Amino acid sequence: MGFARACSVALVGVEGVVVEVQADLEPGVAAFTLVGLPDKSLVESRDRVRAAVVNSGAEWPQKKLTVGLSPASVPKSGSGFDLAVACAVLGAAERIDPAMIADVVMIGELGLDGRVRPVRGVLPAVLAAGEAGYEQVVVPEQTAGEAALVPGVSVLGVRSLRQLIAVLCDEPVPEEPVEGQGRPDAMLAGLMIPGTGLGSGLAPAAGRGDGHLPDLADVAGQPRPRQALEVAAAGGHHLLFSGPPGAGKTMLAERLSSVLPPLTRQESLEVTAVHSVAGLLPPGEPLVSRAPYCAPHHSATMQSLVGGGNGMPRPGAVSLAHRGVLFLDEAPEFSGKALDALRQPLESGHVVVARAAGVVRLPARFLMVLAANPCPCGRHSLTGAGCECPPSVVRRYQARLSGPLLDRVDLRVEVEPVDRADLLGHGGRGESTAVVAARVRDARARAAERLAGTPWTTNSEVPGHELRTRLLAAPGALAVAERDLERGTLTARGLDRVLRVAWTVADLRGADRPDASDVAVALELRTGIQRGVPMGTGQR
């Protein structure tokens, strides 16, 4: 009787569980049984592994073979277990020393000819292996750079099963020719989900188009929305742009991700892990360093926004926008059920999706930008534009954005139509993205220094209790906000959010703490009511 074991990783959402792949050979009629709660694609690995082993020059054992995936209670899906299954079988057949593979994590799909094909989710799988104490990982050659991002783990990238057998048996490693030179690598097809590439609104900002990032200087006029965009980037505050079509709402939102600071190392790993599982990681770019930008269509379902799908839930748009921007253009056209599903992640920074197959916790700390027209035709706010929408239709259209959702939006700005002077450039170009991004970085640095030693890094994350007890504003600064609270025009959550925005305005102008003018600016940005204060938050 022969027995051997190797290790692989099963992904549950964006978290990994180390799975022990055990192979047992017994005398009897030749058969291959796979147990351990596998899905359809994993059951089919029996035929792939058998063909790959034979075509790699090894002998397939003609005995009763049982392969078990432990723990058996964890659902397992995908073809990433092929490599571990093949090595466990060869170890049980004594073609490989079982001791050499007992503590090695193997991830990869096998072709019938023995080539090792890449799979999605390599980074979170290697992260799970490292956290479980494993130090050696074998992955496909194309994803070795992604796996090498995890510190403390030795990564071996292989191109074929023949090469791995030679390495494990201390034999000369055969050279595998690179096929299809001059053409796109067909082996990378397993890393991308069809329909989620460029142009779908689900790609990271650094991977769209030809690498050119939109510049804020391209936006004509709009000083108040530009200032609101800067405040949103500096403090991580959610933003609502409302105004007629063609005023520049989408242009402004598309430039927000370029204003955000580059991701830290930990944030980059979080974002890369989500995009790797979702099949959105650009080939040749193992680490996402820029804030992602996600703009789903208004016909998106609730499952596509918060996560879902058959079997174990997959990341939705809110998770793909983790540490970046989620832009909902034509927000009132989204279904009310889908919009209201955003309430929980806006507060908690994660999504908990419960399905029959299990419960998955997905990261979802994003900056939300909503864009809305004042009415179905879009001309309701324009003087003499000829809006023919009845008042009841206008009210019903505006009510599609529910009160609880809008209460979680810190900044609400009216985007006015651009006049001729600004559009033709007579008024001069506005500040560029680089200038605004520098101020945003300085403001975030002040906030991080003030919040050092706490679990928060931006003003939008600070709880209201801390703002009212430890991080106090200047004396008398909250007088106007307190009056609005007593009148019922401001909720308790709204007061906390006004305080957070006031701290961001103070950080942008280099002040130690917010004063009455900063609170007035925050109130104006939240309510849209003129308070008689200048909006030059970035002027120092």
217-229 pLDDT, tens per residue?
A: 888 888 889 999 9
> Among all chains, which residue has been given the structure tokens 């309701």?
380
| Residue 434, CA atoms < 13 Å, CB-side half-sphere | 0
**pLDDT tens column, 75-129:** 898 899 999 999 999 999 999 999 999 999 999 999 999 999 999 999 999 999 9
54-68, 153-167, 423-437 — which is least confidently predicted?
423-437
Q: What is the dihedral of CA 404, 409, 414, 420, to 10 degrees?
A: -140
**pLDDT confidence of 189, banded at 50, 70, 90?**
low
Dist CA 316 CA 306 (whole Å): 5
**pLDDT tens column, 371-411:** 999 888 888 877 666 788 898 999 999 899 998 899 889 99
First to last CA, the chain: 78
231 CB neighbour count, 10 Å cutoff: 29
The b/e string for 498-529 (b: 16+ C-beta within 10 A; e otherwise) is bbbbbbbbbbbbebeebbbbbbbbbbbbbeee
Closest CA to 163 of 108, 94, 121: 108
Average pLDDT, the chain: 87
Determine the pLDDT at residue 183. Answer: 58
The whole-model pTM stands at 0.88
Q: Is the pLDDT of residue 40 over 80?
A: yes
Query: What does the block give as tokens for 458?
Result: 């931006």
Task: Indicate the pairing of strand 358-363 with strand 154-158.
Answer: unpaired
Closest CA to 490 of 472, 457, 460, 464: 464
Determine the pLDDT at residue 475. Answer: 87
Query: What does the block give as tokens for 413?
Result: 């700005």
Mean pLDDT of 495-515: 92
The secondary element (H helix, E strand) that includes residue 110 is strand 109-110
Determine the pLDDT at residue 1. Answer: 58
- Which DSSP category does 434 fall into? H
Dist CA 265 CA 100 (whole Å): 33
Query: What does the block give as tokens for 168?
Result: 């494990």
Q: Is the pLDDT of residue 345 over 80?
A: yes
Let me know: does 124 contact 34? Beta carbons within 8 Å: no
The one-letter code for the residue type at 437 is: A
52-61, 420-429, 473-482 — which is least confidently predicted?
420-429
DSSP 124-180: HHHHHHHHTT--EEEEEGGGHHHHTTSTT-EEEEESBHHHHHHHHTT-PPPP----S
| Residue 90, CA atoms < 13 Å, CB-side half-sphere | 27
Beta bridge partners of 369: 239, 327
Determine the pLDDT at residue 197. Answer: 45
Instruction: Tell me, rounded to whole angstroms, the distance of Cα 136 from its chain centroid.
Output: 27
E strands along 301-375, which residues?
325-328, 350-355, 358-363, 367-372
Query: What does the block give as tokens for 208?
Result: 């769209």
Let me know: does 409 contact 372? Beta carbons within 8 Å: no
Dist CA 272 CA 260 (whole Å): 17
Determine the pLDDT at residue 539. Answer: 44
Determine the pLDDT at residue 242. Answer: 92
Dist CA 490 CA 529 (whole Å): 12
Residue 4, helix vs strand vs coil: strand
Determine the pLDDT at residue 292. Answer: 92
Q: 520-523, long-range: CB within 8 Å, 24+ apart, which pairs?
A: 520/480, 522/498, 523/480, 523/481, 523/484, 523/498
